[in-house]
């Protein structure tokens, strides 16, 4: 599902997502839904002008490579897409840098904010803290790195 804000620029959004988080290239349709639902939820809290700017920025990204790469962004390979995004990230224009920073942040939120993804990274924070680790058979804290005069 590509929801309201992203709908007209869905292909570009996914192409940018697969560029900034290469693992997303392997996402199943349902996993894309989860990612995009998270992004849409965040966008729904933002002003209308910001949502419009995001769509405009994605359109610029889509058509910018026509000049340099003779193809639209969403049809380029990963290396070419990375090169374009890196150029935008280092643009002398603050507006462009900000735009890319904001877009990547949204994608990170939609992807890394998911509990399933966090689990795959090995992130194991638990409300029970040390007790949860002890239940898993681990020591409270390892002392290996601590100098004796601590």
Partner 1 sequence: METREYDIVVVGSGAGGGTMAAALAPMVSQGVRILVLEQGPRLDPHEFTGSEGDMAGALYEDQGGFLTADGTMTLAMGRLFGGSTVVYTGTSLVAPDHVIREWYVPGLEHADIEQRCRKYMAQNHVHYLPRVLLNDNNKLFFTGCHRLGLKAEQFPLNVHGCKGSSLCNLGCPNSAKMGTHRVQLPDAERQGVEVITRTEVIRLEEKAAVVRVHAKPPGAKGREPEWAPGEYRINARQVVSCAGSVGTSALLLRSAVTAGVPGLGRGFTCHPAQILVAEHDRDITNDVGHPKSYYLDRARQEGFVLETCMYFPFVTAKNLTGFGPDHSAFMTAFPRLQMILVLACDKAVPENRITVDKSGKAVVHYTFTPAVRRSMVAATRMSARIFFAAGAKRVHAPPADPCLIDRQDAYRLDDLILEEHFIPGRLSISAAHLMGGCGMGPPGKGVTDSRGRVYGVPWLRVADASLFPDSLEINPYLTIMALADRVAEGIREDYRR
Distances (CA, A) of 2 to 6, 30, 49, 56, 141: 6, 11, 20, 17, 45
Closest CB 148 distance from partner 1, rounded Å: 10
Q: With binding defined as CB under 8 A, does residue 90 bind partner 1?
A: yes
- DSSP per position, 36-84: HHHHHHHHHTS-HHHHHHHHHHHHHHHHTHHHHTSS-GGGS-HHHHHHH
* Residue whose CB is less far from partner 1, 8 or 53: 53
What is the footprint of partner 1 within residues 105-124 (CB under 8 A)?
A: 105, 108-109, 111-115, 117-118, 121-124
Neighbours of 66 (CB within 10 A): 11
CB 95, min distance to partner 1, A = 8
Binding to partner 1 by residue 150, rule CB under 8 A?
yes
Look up residue 106 and give its two tokens.
């949204």
Residues of the shown chain interacting with partner 1 in the complex, contacts defined by CB under 8 A: 19-23, 38, 42, 45-46, 82, 85-86, 89-90, 94, 97-98, 101-102, 104-105, 108-109, 111-115, 117-118, 121-133, 140-147, 149-150
């Amino acid at each position: 599902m590509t929801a309201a804000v992203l709908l007209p620029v869905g292909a570009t959004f996914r192409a940018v997502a697969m560029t900034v988080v290469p693992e997303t290239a392997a996402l199943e349709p349902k996993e894309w839904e989860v990612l995009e639902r998270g992004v849409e939820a965040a966008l729904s809290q933002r002003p209308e002008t910001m949502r419009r700017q995001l769509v405009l920025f994605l359109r610029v990204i889509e058509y910018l490579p026509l000049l340099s790469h003779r193809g639209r962004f969403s049809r380029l390979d990963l290396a070419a897409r990375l090169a374009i995004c890196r150029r935008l990230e280092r643009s002398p224009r603050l507006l462009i840098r900000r735009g890319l920073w904001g877009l990547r942040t949204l994608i990170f939120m939609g992807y890394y904010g998911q509990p399933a993804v966090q689990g795959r990274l090995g992130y194991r924070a638990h409300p029970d803290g040390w007790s949860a680790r002890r239940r898993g058979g681990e020591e409270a804290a390892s002392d290996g790195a601590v100098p004796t005069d601590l």
